């Protein structure tokens, strides 16, 4: 391969990787700086690269449905959350399609279906309250 072509390919590859890393950094910074919270539902497990499993989930913001996925870093399908499980989703209030599901914060079944729950804010919560704030 001629040297100028190889140099062009290396530059394009490096630029693509750099662009991807900047995009991911901006995405996570926006979720951190402009957080809102809602409830997400696991819709399906998937088997990703190198045999690791992940989940696909949906959540609702301002009467729109958003779908996303998240790796679970396990090779065992039995360790993946079952379909229909509900968890807290943190998303960027400026760009709602950027989100992260928190598996450590399940939403109990005693809370009614969030699509028809009248007290559920259409644009999510600005922050999560903790148990201490609820009792005071």
pTM here? 0.66
Query: Cα separation of 95 and 11, whole Å?
Result: 30
Cα 39 to chain center, whole Å? 11
Predicted pLDDT of residue 131:
42
Predicted pLDDT of residue 58:
93
Query: Cα separation of 86 and 41, whole Å?
Result: 5
Predicted pLDDT of residue 114:
54
List per-residue pLDDT tens for the chain, 136 residues long: 677 788 888 888 888 888 888 877 777 677 777 788 888 999 988 888 788 888 999 998 888 899 998 888 788 877 788 888 898 888 888 888 888 888 888 888 776 655 544 556 656 666 665 544 443 3
Predicted pLDDT of residue 67:
93
> What is the 8-class DSSP label of residue 62?
T
């Amino acid at each position: 391969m001629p040297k100028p072509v190889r140099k062009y390919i290396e530059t394009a590859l490096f630029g693509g990787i750099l662009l991807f890393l900047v995009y991911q950094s901006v995405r996570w910074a926006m979720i951190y700086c402009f957080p809102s919270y809602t409830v997400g539902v696991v819709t399906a497990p998937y088997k990703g690269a190198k045999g690791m499993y992940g989940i696909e989930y949906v959540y609702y913001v301002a009467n729109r449905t958003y779908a996303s996925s998240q790796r679970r870093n396990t090779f065992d399908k039995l360790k993946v959350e079952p379909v229909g499980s509900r968890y807290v989703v943190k998303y960027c209030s400026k760009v709602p399609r950027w989100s992260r599901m928190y598996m450590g914060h399940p939403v109990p079944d005693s809370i009614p279906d969030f699509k028809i729950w009248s007290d559920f804010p259409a644009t999510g919560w600005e922050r999560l309250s903790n148990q201490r704030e609820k009792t005071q």
